[in-house]
Copies of this chain bind each other. A is one copy, B any other.
């Protein structure tokens, strides 16, 4: 049960990077969440659901959608309840697996997404992109993808 021996200690520069990473994430998501719901009337998780469905061509199984938006299956059940009550998505039974349920983007959902996307992208550009060089963006992506490969299941 002992933790595995570490090869090397965590040093100060890495810890500082980690702290800045955490603070930046907290503040950025707070601001972007606020701006998106103020200017597009859409909570960030709703946006995320819509965009994931869109990327997947308009339909996803509950299970896959849950993984895509980083939510538990139970959490997604309730979230999809709310979003579909607003008419932006709908459920459809899955024909070849009768346990399964598809979630699909409705026309109304597509419209809301088209409306919200520029708002959100402007926010990301304003608070993040604009302060980051192309070279730095490439570094961030490379580093985080490398980290993710080790930590993803």
Contacts and interface: CB of A to CB of B under 8 A. Distances in A.
A130 interface: yes
Interface stretch (A79-87, A94-102, A103-111, A136-144): A136-144
Contacts of A126: 6
Dominant secondary structure of chain A at its interface with chain B: helix
B125 A147 contact: no
A73 interface: no
* 5 cross-chain pairs, A with B, having the tightest CB-CB distances, nearest first: A20-B144, A24-B144, A10-B125, A14-B129, A17-B137
Contact of A28 (B131, B146, B147): B147
Contact of A21 (B16, B17, B25): B25
B147 A24 contact: yes
A143 B143 contact: no
A131 B8 CA distance: 12
Contact of A13 (B22, B23, B121, B138): B138
B6 A125 contact: yes
Contact of A27 (B8, B20, B138, B151): B151
Contacts of A74: none
Pick the most buried of A24, A144, A152: most chain B CB atoms within 10 A of its CB.
A144
Contacts of A28: 147, 151
A119 B140 CA distance: 26
Contacts of A145: 20
